[in-house]
Structure 1
């Protein structure tokens, strides 16, 4: 099998597995609040990756400029502590299918962040794609009566949009460090930085023991574990491998098919409604993301 084809298959498989992870995170989120769920996910992933660093001989303290250390740490706080917590909050309020559509805002936000911080000018196709994604969110939330959607939906969309914007900034500020340090070391440092800040935030929560106890309920614990293994370990490894074996644009576009997989799985497994409006919003969101990524 050609390496390019292998990379494309890995990107597609990554999208499908990430979709499964989102379903499990949604099921876990029915009982577990976003902050403790994020702590569990981040802790488990950090524990799994650390032995990999040792076994592969990756230096634990590589030589890096101080500003790159700070960039990676800031990326972890923004992209995991804040963005992932907002993502879980969005998932709890909107459901998996609608969250998948809102997730497509990630590509336009990366485009915008690259323009602001890296001075990369977007093409007209990318701007058009961003407009399509924005239109997809509006289509998904539009009500025939002309009234505003329920407050829960509006707050969920705001959480999701803020999460995608924060995630985009975290990726852009981390990108220069990827040329100077091993990828999985960067991932581990981001996780550790996020874990410290997550635990600090959790220390100020009320009913901490009650929130943690929910993590050990049989169903919730299993869903959180499966979501973490599928999303943060298997899907992430396939994501990295896809970018290694095929072009970045090809891998990114195929990864975006996760939106379609999530909507389908949410309809089948979570019994979420699949209306014509949601179908149109899904098509617009995926098409817009493809324009942004390919442009």
Structure 2
């Protein structure tokens, strides 16, 4: 239960208890001062309950004062100067729940003050609770225990609230980190998508075949050639040659750079694949450096004419056609 629920329940219990007390007093002795006092206290408690339900926190402390005064005044004289009664502990018990350690001590002192005044000079202002050191010690022990128990409870509540606050802060940090990670993930995904679109655009711009004349395709190679790019080039070139029904494919590598032995071997595979689908192949633009690389790697394009420019390849192809 929450503190508000506990306080509300205590006020309701006090209201019903006071009404029962007034009813019993009517049946027993309607002329006693206890009857109007009970009615007045019940009305005050109802007002306090109404005020507390609307957020007025001082209602708790006023309730402690009312109960302390009411018990101090309404307690029979017998339990003030002759015998002890448990009713004297009611205000302290109520203060332990509704107030705090200071209110526990304050209600105890208030009760003793009222009892002392009621004892009067007739009994030397000595009550049954202050008549001897043993009773005083027991009374002090009970009050101190109530106050200490409330201190322990308040400390536990504060620690729990601090732990809850730390947990909420940690949870908020985790949520913030999760949101940041999600945003970073989305940003990375968007970046990857942009990079993929750029790669697709580059692949599209790297046109493997340009139709120069009917049945003649030019495949220019520009920039560095690695394994992935060479394999992509071979696949796209074979597809283009098949679609265009090419009879001659000119692979121009004048603009290629960083052609190593692996890339040269892949170009050789491209030549062989093109010849298998019925295309004649010519290679143009072989530089001195590339020629040295091919010789060093032991790669040769047997049966494939090598020319300096694509134009020479076309002229050579036309001569072959005329001779045939």
Query: What's the TM-score bracket when you normalise by the shorter of the two chains?
Result: under 0.3
TM-score, with normalisation over the residues of structure 2? 0.25
Q: Which structure carries more strand by proportion?
A: 2
Larger Rg computed on CA atoms: 2
